Structures are given as structure tokens and as C-alpha cells.
Amino acid sequence: MDRRDFVKHTSMAAMTAALPMGWLSKVLKKVGPVGVQLYTLRDAMADNPRKTLQQLAAIGYEEVESAGYQEGTFYGMKPKKFKKLLNKLGLGIKSGHCLTGAQAPEQKGTIINEWEMAVADAAEVGQEYLVCAYLFDFERTSLDDYKKLAELFNKAGEVCNQYGITFAYHNHDFEFMEMDGALPYDILLSEVDAANMKMELDLYWINKANKNPFQYFEKYSGRFPLWHVKDMDDTEEQFFTEVGKGVIDWEPIFQATKQSGMKQYYVEQDVCRNHAPIESVKISYEYLRGMEY
């Protein structure tokens, strides 16, 4: 079975065939508002964060996930100022991205440098989750690297717990590429205590890696409180596209929200080829809301 067939023909699809029309709208309403990962609009956020957030609120987004924390500021704003702006626009911010800091050890507010400062700032803004967003190539050359990262993540999660925040990890496809007979993603899940780390499952990347998200939902039930919702175009390249414009079958995935433990999902599109990013996230939002009403 190729990747496109896998996306279209999972075992969950058969389970949903007999469900009544409108079931998905009920599922979506139960899991809260549609969110957006601000990395999708990174250039606009760097240029004019206030205007960009206003545009997102006008589209109808109610939640954002930050990707612009650096050395005590969110998009150049101190936590209190950033929170005030979000509150004014009616935007929540349940989660935010961070890095280990290995690529820039001198930078403060990473997992290896002034981590507690980053956690405290996240708590002040109102975040419930801090998510390690990415591992650079040199951080993940072997299974031993992942085992060392698991130790680091356990410690990071312990600090987060002290502030009432949950630490999480965001995947790409490389975590599902076998190393010495094992999958790095499985190493992280097994070697980091569930009390110290949950997962932000990027549904595009796990499908790009040709892995079955439902198997993970079953084996690690409740460990996936955050999702990234992005679609895959119907080409050999399998590039990013707006939600609803690609080949991923969202209905069986959303039917698994309870088993997965999902609490919040975010629209994200790493690269927008056919539209400006603000237009792309609008298309995705309208598709998700169209499923709802």
C-alpha cells in the first residue's frame, strides 16, 4: 500500500462508514476552538505581530501557538505585554514551541540554558504546554543521541510540572526512520516518563513517514493532547497544502480524539506555495468550520 492509499484506507475509515451525517461537527465542538501555529505566519509575525494577530482573530481563530519566544520575549514583547495583546483580541495561547538550544548554546530560554526562565514566562502568558519543536541533524545521529535527549526531556518535564505546565514533543518524519532496528519516536515514548512528556502529533509528518497514527493512539492512549493539522497534496512530492485540499482523510482521525487524548489542535502549514500564508490559514479554517456547521 502506498502512502496515499494508507491515508485513505485505514482501519478507522471502516469504523466511521456507518456514522450519521454531522457526527464530525459534534466531535469538533467537543475538542474546542480551532487554533493556528504562528510559525505558518513567521514572516508576518516578525514584521507586524499586532496586525497579524488581528487578522487571525478576524478570520475566527480563537487559539494560537507561539513559535517566537526568545530570551524572555514573545515576538519582541515581554510576557505581560504579549498576554495583554492576546486578551484584547480574544486569543488564547495554550501552548508554545521551544528548542533544546544545542544549535545556539549562548541563547537563553532554551532547554539547556535558562530553561526555568522560559517555563516561568510561558506560565505568565498562560500556556499550558511547552513543546520541543525540532531537533537539528547533529542532535539526532544515533539512538544513543535520542536516549540522551530522553534524559534531557525528563528533566525538562520535571521543571515544567513545577509550574503547572506540561512538556511535549513535536515530531517530523525523521523520528519514524529506523535506526539499529528501532524507531526514535518509540524510544522517546518509552524512555521519557509519561508524567514528564506528552506528544504534539503532527499528522502530516506521521503520514509522510507512512506510519499509522491509530496504532500509536491505541498503544499510548491519552498521550497526544496536541495535534498539528496540515494536509498533503495529491502529487508525487506530497507537499504541504491547506486542510481539505489534500489527500488526508480527516474524519477517522478526528473520530479518534478521545482515545488519543487530544485537547487542542492547530492548523499549520510549513510552506504556503499557492497562497499568502494568511490566505492559506483562512482556507484551512473555513474547511474545518465547514465540517462543523
Per-domain boundaries in the chain: 61-268+279-292
Q: Is the pLDDT at 293 greater than 50, yes or no? A: no
Q: What is the mean pLDDT of the chain?
A: 92
Q: What is the pLDDT of residue 25?
A: 53
The residue with cell 521551544 is 98
3-class DSSP assignment, residue 153: helix
Task: Assign 292 a pLDDT band (cuts: 50, 70, 90).
Answer: low
Under CATH, what is the fold of the domain 61-268+279-292?
A: TIM Barrel (3.20.20)
Q: Is the pLDDT at 37 greater than 50, yes or no? A: yes
- Look up residue 180 and give its amino acid: D
Q: What is the pLDDT of residue 17?
A: 42
Give residue-wise pLDDT tens across range 103-127. Answer: 999 999 999 999 999 999 999 999 9
The residue with cell 484584547 is 88
Q: Is the pLDDT at 63 greater than 60, yes or no? A: yes
Contact 93, 65 (CB under 8 A): yes
Closest CA to 132 of 159, 165, 170, 173: 170
Which element (helix H / strand E) includes 199?
strand 198-202
Q: What is the pLDDT of residue 272?
A: 98
pTM: 0.90
**Average pLDDT in the 153-169 region?**
98
Higher pLDDT, 3 or 43: 43
Angle between helices 143-162 and 184-191 (to 10 degrees): 40
Higher pLDDT, 149 or 27: 149
